[in-house]
Structure 1
Amino acid sequence: MGSATSSPAPASKPAALPSNPSLITELNPEGLKPCCACPDTKSARDQCFMGSEKPEIECKQLVEAHIACMKGCLRLQGLDV
């Protein structure tokens, strides 16, 4: 039998701090940039694209999950998408 070791679950990433204070507005009090809003789905999508021979097929669900996350974040910021 193989070893029963398990690796620890990856820690969730904290929300990105704004690199530009001008991003902080009434609708975006945390100053989040869209590129930083969904790091978990973005990372999974990117890893799939990098390791896939047919990313348009193999990564479709990850792309859809990232789009859904981004839309949710934008709606929370008051944008209708």
Structure 2
Amino acid sequence: MSSTTRTVPPTAKTSEAPENVVLKPTANGPKPCCVCKDEKASRDECMLFSDKGEVQCLDKIAAYKACMAGFGFKI
């Protein structure tokens, strides 16, 4: 078994985070990993086990986004 390594050329630019992503949650607020766990699990299960992926899971994706927005996170 052979392995190959790839290097990033020095001219490659790193992408910056999009403007709508919360980078620093407030000290008093919840962390994104700790909220909307049921919605996230439902979305992930749908995405992993459905035949058409995102198309079949739009309602679950929307529910997850709405839940996160309720906590102040924009995704």
Q: TM-score, with normalisation over the residues of structure 1?
A: 0.53
1:34 is aligned to 2:32: yes
What amino acid does structure 1 have at the position aligned with 2:64?
H
Q: Deviations over 1:2-55 (max 9, x none)?
A: xxxxxxxxxxxxxxxxxxxxx7724x2xxx211221001000000001101111
Count residues in correspondence. Answer: 50
Seq. identity, %: 38
Which of the pair is proportionally richer in helix? 1
| 2:65 paired with 1:67 | yes
Q: Residues 74 and 53 (structure 1 numbering): CA distance in 2 closer, same or farther, change over 3 Å?
A: same
Amino acid at match of 1:66: Y
- Alpha-carbon RMSD across the aligned residues, in angstroms, is 2.1
- 1:66 to 1:53, Cα distance in 2 relative to 1, 3 A: same
Q: Name the SS for the 2:71 alignment partner.
A: helix
- Offset of 1:69 from its aligned partner? 0.2
Structure 1 partner of 2:20: none
Q: List runs of 5+ in structure 2 lacking aligned partners.
A: 1-24
User: 2:71, 2:26 → 1: CA distance?
Assistant: 15
